[in-house]
Amino acid sequence: MTGTRKIHVLIVDDDPLTRLMASEALRESGYTSVEAEDGLRALALFDSERPDLVLLDVMMPRLGGFDVCQHLRARPEGQLVPIIMLTGLDDGESVERAFQVGATDFISKPINWTLLRFRIRYVLRSAQVMQELVRNKESLSSAQRIARLGSWEWFVTEDRVQRSAQYYRLFGQQPESFGERMEAVLDHVYKPDRPMVQAALKGAAKGLGYQLTYRVVWPDGSVRTVLETAEPAEGGVDLLLEGSVQDITEQVDTQRRIRQLAYFDPLTGLPNREFFRESLLSAVARCLRNDSRCAVMVLDIDRFARINDSLGPERGDQVLQVIGHRLRESMGDRTPAEPAGGGGLPRLKVARLAADEFGVLVSDVGPVDEVIEVAYRLLDVVRAPIRVPGQEITLAARVGVAMMPEHATEADALLKAAETALNRAKRSTGEQVALFSEEMKVAAFLRFTLEGDLRRAIGEEELQVVYQPIVDLNGPRIAKVEALVRWAHLARGTVPPPEFISLAEETGMIVPLTRAVIEQVCSDIVHMGDALPPDFRVSVNLSGVNFMDPQLIPTIRAVLGAAQVPPSRIEFELTETVLMRDLDYATTTLAQLREMDIRVAVDDFGTGYSSLAYLRRLAVNTLKIDRSFIGELHDSQGLAIVEAVIGLARSLGMDVVAEGVETPAQLEVLRERGCHLIQGYLFARPMSRQALLQLLAGGAAVLPQRAALRPD
| Mean pLDDT score, 419-444 | 82
pLDDT at residue 708 greater than cutoff 70: no
> Tell me, what DSSP letter sits at residue 404?
E
Distance between terminal CA atoms of the chain? 72
Q: Taken in order 661, 664, 668, 674, is the CA torsion positive or negative?
A: positive
Higher pLDDT pick, 607 / 321: 321
pLDDT band of residue 691 (cuts 50, 70, 90) is: very high
pLDDT band of residue 590 (cuts 50, 70, 90) is: very high
The structural architecture, per CATH, of the domain 148-253 is 2-Layer Sandwich (3.30)
pLDDT at residue 628 greater than cutoff 70: yes
Residues 358, 393: Cα–Cα separation, whole Å = 19
Higher pLDDT pick, 223 / 446: 223
pLDDT tens profile 403-418: 999 999 999 999 999 9
Domain 468-698 in the same topology as domain 148-253: no
| CATH code, 8-143 | 3.40.50.2300
pLDDT tens profile 553-571: 999 999 999 999 999 999 9
Percent of the chain with pLDDT over 90: 44
3-state secondary structure 217-244: ECCCCCEEEEEEEEEECCCCCCCEEEEE
pLDDT at residue 513 greater than cutoff 90: yes
Q: What is the pLDDT of residue 136?
A: 67
State how far Cα 237 lies from the chain centre: 68
Phi, psi of 387 (to 5 degrees): -100, 120
pLDDT tens profile 181-239: 888 899 999 999 999 999 999 998 888 999 999 999 999 999 999 999 998 887 666 78
0.85 cut: is pTM over it?
A: no
From the DSSP assignment, how many helices (H) and strands (E) are in the chain? 26, 26
Q: Where are the domains of the chain?
A: 8-143, 148-253, 265-334+345-436, 468-698
Element (H, E) at 45: helix 39-49
**Based on the number of CB atoms within 10 Å of its own CB, is 235 exposed (0-12), middle (13-18) or buried (19 or more)?**
exposed
Residues 712, 676: Cα–Cα separation, whole Å = 9
Higher pLDDT pick, 94 / 443: 94
pLDDT tens profile 47-64: 999 999 999 999 888 899
Q: What is the pLDDT of residue 526?
A: 96
pLDDT at residue 528 greater than cutoff 70: yes
Please state, rounded to an integer, the average pLDDT across all residues of the chain.
86
- Check if CATH label 3.30.70.270 holds for domain 265-334+345-436: yes
pLDDT band of residue 426 (cuts 50, 70, 90) is: confident
DSSP class per residue in 327-352: HHHHHT----SS-GGG-PPPP-SEEE
Q: What is the pLDDT of residue 339?
A: 40
Query: How far, in Å, are 235, 243, 369 from residue 201 at the CA level?
Result: 21, 11, 54
pLDDT at residue 609 greater than cutoff 60: no
pLDDT tens profile 236-286: 667 888 888 988 888 888 777 777 777 888 899 899 998 899 889 989 999
Q: What is the pLDDT of residue 711?
A: 46
Helix axes 438-459 and 510-528, enclosed angle (nearest 10)? 40
pLDDT at residue 709 greater than cutoff 60: no
3-state secondary structure 109-137: CCCCHHHHHHHHHHHHHHHHHHHHHHHHH
Residues 11, 51: Cα–Cα separation, whole Å = 10
Percent of the chain with pLDDT over 70: 90
Determine the 3-state secondary structure of 528 from DSSP: helix
Q: What is the pLDDT of residue 334?
A: 57
| CATH code, 468-698 | 3.20.20.450
